[in-house]
Structure 1
Amino acid sequence: MRRSRTWARLTAAIGAAVVVFAAGCGPGGAGGRTLTVWLMSGPVPDDTVNAIGKDFEAAHPGVKVDYQVQQWDGIGQKLTTALTRTSGGPDIIELGTTQDAQYTSQGALQDLTGSVGELNGPQWLPTLKESGAYGGKQYGVPFYAASRVVVYRTDLFRRAGITAPPASADEWLADLAKLKALPGVDPLYLPGQSWYALLSFIWDHGGDLAHNEGGTWRSTVNTPEAKAGFAFYKQLVDTSGTTAAKDTDEATPQQSDVIAKGDTASFIGFGSDLAEVIASNPSLKDKFGAFPIPSRTAGKTAPVLEAGSILAIPANSKNADLAKDWLKIETSAKYQAQLAATDSVPGTSTDTSALRATPVGRAMVAASKDGKVTPVTPRWTAVEADNPLKSALTAYLTGKKSLDQAVSDADSAITKTLTSSS
């Protein structure tokens, strides 16, 4: 799943250059070979990538590793071109969670089903494992994930008389009403097209996005349960009186830029969003807490989209053996612990102690226990490209369409895309 600028800016140092490691082969003799690794600009820090390279070098003397950082913008076409080459393409690629099925269905990725055990499969994050599977086989290895949580200003909550995070959706609404009474404060920055947040509300009310009927995926958005999720979204907007526009998402403008101005009490996002806020306005450091999106069922958290990435080996790779060895190192407990220390949920580990060291991290760990993914179908990337859910939200929130009409139109559009052959 493609991510916004918030992921990229945390590792600008990675994206600034292509890092080349000297590495080599083991007893099998792979001298003179080059392993090409494509990772996306994201939350994986330089020191982790360098350490993986050094460990690979120690185990494979003589093999050269060409590590290349890619940008999310335009990556689809670049991957399509690379995966159809007869030679010279990448041997390991990072994919968003909605991309694996698309390339797997085209025969572009290697079947890793037989290697799951040696790649620490028992420790895999279930949601990312699901994203990397297709047709009963495994093609992707979990890399890292992140769950959106509610990040809030502890000082503004106290000023409004709120002494503890809400334990239910109703308490959340009540707290927003209290915050609304504070002069000059935006209780919840929630743009009208934050469809990732919408998914939590749809799932929390028992709805879903689509289901598979005998091999054909169809939308399930036009149901009472899914519509209840839309209705709750509108309750949040109306109760908070958010200043956010109803026809844009959290990337336009970047919500971290808005939060950094200092008059927003809460927002839905990642730890990386908060890092950007603090970088822009250091005076806000230590003024934020976080809690999982509350469920309508008191004491529970709402299901949350597990955004993240998986790693795969292209079918045209000439170095699949080396690629698997690199993946063995990356999925080891040593490096998964380092991922947990970067405000990411490690894809292959149950040890989240480092992640729980921060308020956002603790909230993410709690939220991830009920993580979900979008439908694992090759056509879902096409759904996101046009995204009828965004259009439906704007039409409903602005009053241009009734709830029933907005959702019905979105449902029809999603089904049309899912059943299209192109």
Structure 2
Amino acid sequence: MRRGISIAAAVTVVALSASACGGSGGSASSKPKDPKDVSGTITYWDTSDAATEAPAYQALIKEFEAKYPKIKVNYQPVPFTDIEQKFKSAAKSGKGAPDVIRTDVGLMAEYASLGYIAPLDGTAALKDTSDFNTGPMNTTKYNGKTYGVPSVTDTLGILYNKDLLKKAGIAGPPATWDEFIADAKTIKQKTGAYGTYVNPDAYFLLPLLYSNGADMADTSSKKITISDDKAVTALTTAKKIYDEASMKVDFANAYQNMQTAFKNGKVAMLVQGPWSVSDDLTGPAFKGKESNLGFAPVPAGAGGTAQAPTGGHDLTVYQGSRNLDASYLFTQFMTSTASQITIAEKNGTLPTRKSAYTDAVTADAKIAGFEPILAKTARPRVALPQVGSLFTPMQQNYAKILQGDESVKSGLDATAKQFQQLLPGYSVG
């Protein structure tokens, strides 16, 4: 695991900065060119699904080239699982990096801390930010600067089987975690179906942490907070849900079994994201009766606020690009309202712009269902370059807590100690 920027990486950052300032396309600090005068070739790395999503993006690229005939886009699909290491290797060496990258929001802080992506404040890529939903927009920030433009987004909410809740005599989805547990018990007693299925992936623990006022760490005070009293409350609730409200979890195949149980009508409520809906609608509980699938925000906890992590992708620009002005224009075009409407209609993904939620876009029940959830509850993960690495120890100890191999407090204390190895300079709060 990286514990800081190495000397080699630091030298690379300096080189990239020099390259960016001396490139033919201009830089964030130079006067932007008139768009009609911008020319050159840029390379775009796209991680969207090659079969189902990429064609819509490729069509937009043709529109961009028609609008800006002096700019050529070299489109390169890169598997999502490969892009992080591939980009970091290219950026560190200064060879073969793309000009524009479709970047997972969880990687923003790391790329920015290494100097691999350019700040976009004041560039053509980032004009009016007021149209973006707060959750996606906040994923682009690091140390007071903006390093990306939100492209597509998602968050977690409650997906539920309306028929099962009705049969149990429950008027609507739970507003608090205590109600969630109570409703789950009622559903089991009155319908025979389980109230929920706990996903043991640590990412799905975040709504419980956030809604109880807890988090992994506090960057302002440089404290690790994963073992504080609020986190203990959150994990105690998670353990209670697992023990009292969940179908038995097969930890080896948890996600697949969770999905199967839900779409077959054996589970009534899930903490889940919009990406699962297409699969949900293939099961007998929802196929041909799509309106039976309900959408609601995650419940609130002791903190009184329902919050869930923001997912999705931002477009970022390589700091060492020699065609920055063309890269800025491309980023602006691909994240415009018109482009986001096109992508939402063709791919069924959630737009990041408020103005993109047109009647045609929200005709998709999934998008209509998650729009208010996104606006009300989505928040970014803690802006740490190491945030991705923090999930590994948290995942390991969360599973032990759920299975009773560790107490809540001992499991969180162990997680905090492991966090200290990844966050030099941080103390345990």
* TM-score (normalised: structure 2): 0.81
Query: Helix, strand or coil for the counterpart of 2:294?
Result: strand
Provide, for residues 240-298 of structure 1, a one-character-per-residue CA deviation record: whole Å limited to 9, x for no partner. 232223x45854x3643443444222212122202113246673641311211121479
Matches within 5 A, 1:231-270: 231-245=236-250, 247=251, 251=255, 253=256, 255-270=258-273
Q: Residues 217 and 226 of structure 2 are in contact (CA less than 8 Å); yes or no, is this contact kept in structure 1?
A: yes
**1:116–1:235 CA distance, 2 compared to 1 (3 A):** farther
Q: Residues 150 and 315 of structure 2 are in contact (CA less than 8 Å); yes or no, is this contact kept in structure 1?
A: yes
Matches within 5 A, 1:89-128: 89-115=97-123, 118-128=126-136
User: For residues 58 and 347 of structure 1, what CA distance do their matches in structure 2 show?
Assistant: 25
Q: Residues 393 and 419 of structure 2 are in contact (CA less than 8 Å); yes or no, is this contact kept in structure 1?
A: yes
Q: What percent identity do the matched residue pairs reach?
A: 22
Matches within 5 A, 1:124-273: 124-182=132-190, 184-191=192-199, 193-212=200-219, 217-245=222-250, 247=251, 251=255, 253=256, 255-273=258-276
**1:34–1:88 CA distance, 2 compared to 1 (3 A):** farther
Unaligned runs of 5+ in 1: 1-24
Match of 1:365?
Answer: 371
Match of 1:295?
Answer: 300
Match of 1:349?
Answer: 354
Q: Residues 256 and 274 of structure 1 are in contact (CA less than 8 Å); yes or no, is this contact kept in structure 2?
A: no
- The structural deviation recorded for 1:227 is 0.8
**1:96–1:29 CA distance, 2 compared to 1 (3 A):** closer
User: For residues 326 and 276 of structure 1, what CA distance do their matches in structure 2 show?
Assistant: 33
User: For residues 139 and 99 of structure 1, what CA distance do their matches in structure 2 show?
Assistant: 11
Highest relative contact order (Cα 8 Å, sep 6+), 1 or 2? 2
- The structural deviation recorded for 1:101 is 1.6
Amino acid at match of 1:336: Q
- The structural deviation recorded for 1:213 is 5.0
**In the alignment, structure 1 residue 41 sits paired with structure 2 residue 48:** yes
**1:249–1:97 CA distance, 2 compared to 1 (3 A):** farther
**Corresponding residue to 1:28 among 33, 37, 52:** 37
User: For residues 310 and 53 of structure 1, what CA distance do their matches in structure 2 show?
Assistant: 17
**1:147–1:110 CA distance, 2 compared to 1 (3 A):** same
**In the alignment, structure 1 residue 398 sits paired with structure 2 residue 403:** yes
Match of 2:327?
Answer: 323
User: For residues 366 and 273 of structure 1, what CA distance do their matches in structure 2 show?
Assistant: 18
Report which stretch shifted further, 222-231 or 65-74.
Answer: 65-74
Q: Residues 152 and 267 of structure 1 are in contact (CA less than 8 Å); yes or no, is this contact kept in structure 2?
A: yes
User: For residues 26 and 155 of structure 1, what CA distance do their matches in structure 2 show?
Assistant: 55
Q: Residues 152 and 266 of structure 1 are in contact (CA less than 8 Å); yes or no, is this contact kept in structure 2?
A: yes
Match of 2:7?
Answer: none
**In the alignment, structure 1 residue 332 sits paired with structure 2 residue 336:** yes
Match of 1:411?
Answer: 416
Aligned-pair Cα RMSD in Å: 2.9
Q: Residues 260 and 280 of structure 1 are in contact (CA less than 8 Å); yes or no, is this contact kept in structure 2?
A: yes
User: For residues 98 and 325 of structure 2, what CA distance do their matches in structure 1 show?
Assistant: 13
- The structural deviation recorded for 1:312 is 0.6
**Corresponding residue to 1:376 among 368, 378, 383:** 383
User: For residues 53 and 390 of structure 1, what CA distance do their matches in structure 2 show?
Assistant: 39
Provide, for residues 76-107 of structure 1, a one-character-per-residue CA deviation record: whole Å limited to 9, x for no partner. 21111232354543111011112122122222
Query: Helix, strand or coil for the counterpart of 1:84?
Result: helix
Query: Helix, strand or coil for the counterpart of 1:172?
Result: helix
**In the alignment, structure 1 residue 58 sits paired with structure 2 residue 63:** no
**Corresponding residue to 2:313 among 309, 312, 315:** 309
Q: Residues 197 and 247 of structure 2 are in contact (CA less than 8 Å); yes or no, is this contact kept in structure 1?
A: yes
Q: Residues 42 and 326 of structure 2 are in contact (CA less than 8 Å); yes or no, is this contact kept in structure 1?
A: yes
Amino acid at match of 1:264: V
**Corresponding residue to 2:90 among 72, 78, 82:** 82
Q: Residues 197 and 249 of structure 2 are in contact (CA less than 8 Å); yes or no, is this contact kept in structure 1?
A: yes
- The structural deviation recorded for 1:148 is 0.9
Query: Helix, strand or coil for the counterpart of 2:154?
Result: strand
- The structural deviation recorded for 1:114 is 1.8
Query: Helix, strand or coil for the counterpart of 2:313?
Result: strand
Q: Residues 144 and 309 of structure 1 are in contact (CA less than 8 Å); yes or no, is this contact kept in structure 2?
A: yes
Q: Residues 292 and 363 of structure 1 are in contact (CA less than 8 Å); yes or no, is this contact kept in structure 2?
A: no
**1:158–1:112 CA distance, 2 compared to 1 (3 A):** same
Query: Helix, strand or coil for the counterpart of 1:315?
Result: coil
Q: Residues 219 and 412 of structure 1 are in contact (CA less than 8 Å); yes or no, is this contact kept in structure 2?
A: no
